[in-house]
Chains A and B, each alone.
Chain A
Amino acid sequence: MSGAQQVLAAGPSVSVKGRWQPPGHGRMHGPDVALAIAFVAPYAALFFAFAVYPIGYALWMGSKPSLYADLIADPLYLSSVLNTMLFVGVGVNVTMFLALLLSGFFMRPRWWIKALLVVYVLPWMLPAVQACISFRWMLAGEEALVDRALAVLIGVDGPIWFNHWWLALGANIVAYVWKWMPFWTVIFLAGRMAIPRDVSDAAAVDGAAGSRRFVHVTFPLLANLYLVCTLLSTVWTMGEFTTVYFVSGGAPVWSTEVLATLAFHYAFDAANPALGVAAVMSVLPLLVPVVIVLMRALQTRAVQL
């Protein structure tokens, strides 16, 4: 969709030429135009050199049809696609939903909740590799923290976590939620704070409280932000590498690989970069609609990031 269409789609009432100009908001003068272009130039250069060109290059690398025949023939590819869908579907939705609810919890004006918020955002600040290694060693090995805690608290021997496909996948998802929930909670918190006080006051006067206030007042105001964040997070999580690579590492026997890690193995362990590119390009038909919906949602003015 071109930029012109975007602007037209935004509403027929916006006619670009005859727009009313507030006094003093005249057209830009010559030097200002040059300056404005100079201000945008660094970003434009970056965008073309490191976004457009690599994306085009990737499309070219993955353009041979025979690559996709190789992919389909590989059973690992199909299981990785399934794992990616499960990881994204469960991981993103759980993260977003809990973050939305918790942002309400952190709105309460109590000193200990403010203090807790400072601790709560810690996972976002902690480096992903180290956090994931820590998760792995809480589960792997006989003396691991979780196994010991299970034995001491309820007296059961923990399973060998990374010997079961679903336990290993679950561990990946839990680590992912742990790492990214704080970030989105803070974003939603900012969104909630942007709701004018009089709206919630009016709702309170009308007797809306608790879950009713959330369903009828808060959520409709946050819905667009929630949509934008969920889509953005979907795109980012589709390429999640670190969590899977360091928590389960594909164990047991490659069965929890996702597309990003599988493509990495294709490209750098099997020395076949084109196949790696093809593996990740194969999710483009899923990603492109997500990005288009995201662009649409961002046109709506109600996003309060």
Chain B
Amino acid sequence: MILGIVLLIWTVIPVYNMLLIALDPEEGEVEFSGNLWPPEPSLESFRVVLTQDARYLEHFWRQLGNSLYIGLSTMVLTVLIASLASFAVGRMRLGQGSPLTSAAVLTNASLITYAIPASFLIFPFHRIMHDYGLSNDPWAVIAAQVTFATPFAILTLRQYARLIPLELDDAARVDGASSAQVYRRVYLPLMTPALAVVATYALVLAWNDYLYQFVLLASEKHMTAAVMQAQLFDDADPPWNAMMAAAIIYALPPVAIFFALRRVMMAGLTSWWR
């Protein structure tokens, strides 16, 4: 019980700090004067954000849209590419008889992506995206994020797929289903919990990113919300309350998606257990 309370406080404090600053009506200084709740909480700073009425926040909606575009594209592509690859290797027995194309190669090859951490690869990426004609293009960021998300996604999907008996595939095949149909009608529906986990993982990865969005997207037009928020470090007197309100709004989509997918994910976890 005590552990529970400690955990709750530990988890909530930084979030509470954000709320405190966002709800404080005073302009300027970061205010906290001993009271646990601002004396006159106000939603003024949220109004300021929603109407784009503060410095830095003039294009907040467009920036949030850019972030969403990158996040959702990363999510969809990761799920698609990883599920196709894991199906081909795990269920179609690709490379049976020739060890060079076996499943171990795919797993190990994908791990090479992690041999050098993502933040280290930003320097070659910066140059390479220019060669690919993707400089200052959101797809450069999406490509990078999908690359970093798929290895973990394939790993997770392959682990989960072991729980689904191969006999189900065979039964469908006996009924005349092609491999593509087995993928769509058998594999994808049964893998839903694992796919939900992978989708959330990919979205959160893209949503957490700052470095790639900052380096690869130079123009004002493609700027994302995360990059905008980081700008205030160069500012002596930024509009704190509004920025914290914007931070809270930015944090909402992944939290919402998590709560939406929570039941599916938990169903996946408990089915493992039984």
Q: Which of A116-166 contact B (CB under 8 A)?
A: 116, 118-131, 133-135, 137-138, 141, 143-145, 148, 151-152
Contact between chains at B123 and A58 (CB < 8 Å): yes
Contact between chains at A152 and B34 (CB < 8 Å): yes
Quick one: CB contact mask for B8-49 with A, threshold 8 Å, 1 for yes?
101111111110110000000111111000000000000000
Question: What number of A residues sit within 8 Å (CB to CB) of B?
Answer: 106
Cβ contact of A305, chosen from B84, B159, B250, cutoff 8 A? B159
Contact between chains at B84 and A32 (CB < 8 Å): no
Most chain A CB within a 10 A radius of its CB, from B3, B115, B116, B170: B116
Q: Which of A230-246 contact B (CB under 8 A)?
A: 232, 235-236, 238-242, 245-246
State the Cβ distance, B227 to closest chain A Cβ, in Å: 9
14 more A-B residue pairs beyond the given contacts A7-B104, A190-B269, A235-B117, with a C-beta to C-beta distance below 8 A: A24-B174, A31-B178, A35-B179, A40-B106, A50-B146, A128-B208, A129-B226, A130-B248, A134-B244, A137-B17, A194-B272, A236-B114, A242-B210, A260-B120
Taking the complex as formed, is A43 at the interface, i.e. its CB lies under 8 A from any CB of chain B?
yes
Contact between chains at B120 and A7 (CB < 8 Å): no
Taking the complex as formed, is B61 at the interface, i.e. its CB lies under 8 A from any CB of chain A?
no
CB neighbours (8 Å) of B84 from chain A are 39-40, 42-43
Contact between chains at B254 and A125 (CB < 8 Å): yes
Chain A residues in the interface with B (C-beta under 8 A): 1, 3-4, 6-8, 10, 16-17, 24-25, 27-28, 31-33, 35-37, 39-40, 42-43, 46-47, 49-55, 57-58, 61, 102, 105, 112-113, 116, 118-131, 133-135, 137-138, 141, 143-145, 148, 151-152, 178, 182, 189-190, 193-194, 197, 232, 235-236, 238-242, 245-246, 249, 259-260, 263-264, 267-268, 273, 276-277, 280-281, 284, 287-288, 291, 294-295, 298-299, 303-305
Prevailing SS type, chain B contact patch: helix
Which chain B residue lies CB-closest to A53? B128
A293 to B158 alpha-carbon distance, docked (Å): 20
Contact between chains at A130 and B251 (CB < 8 Å): yes
Contact between chains at A193 and B273 (CB < 8 Å): yes
State the Cβ distance, B10 to closest chain A Cβ, in Å: 7
A235 to B10 alpha-carbon distance, docked (Å): 26
Given the contacts A6-B108, A143-B32, A58 and B116 also touching, CB distance less than 8 Å? yes
Taking the complex as formed, is B52 at the interface, i.e. its CB lies under 8 A from any CB of chain A?
no
Contact between chains at B94 and A36 (CB < 8 Å): yes
Contact between chains at A47 and B147 (CB < 8 Å): yes
Cβ contact of B211, chosen from A37, A57, A151, A242, cutoff 8 A? A242
Contact between chains at B82 and A141 (CB < 8 Å): no
CB neighbours (8 Å) of B109 from chain A are 47
A25 to B250 alpha-carbon distance, docked (Å): 50
Given the contacts A6-B108, A122-B255, A16 and B116 also touching, CB distance less than 8 Å? no
CB neighbours (8 Å) of B33 from chain A are 143, 148
CB neighbours (8 Å) of A194 from chain B are 272-273
Contact between chains at A120 and B11 (CB < 8 Å): yes
List 22 A-B residue pairs with CB atoms under 8 Å apart, sorted by A's residue number. A3-B108, A24-B173, A28-B93, A35-B180, A50-B143, A50-B147, A54-B128, A55-B124, A127-B254, A134-B14, A151-B34, A178-B14, A235-B114, A239-B116, A239-B120, A241-B119, A242-B208, A260-B119, A268-B215, A291-B115, A298-B108, A299-B104
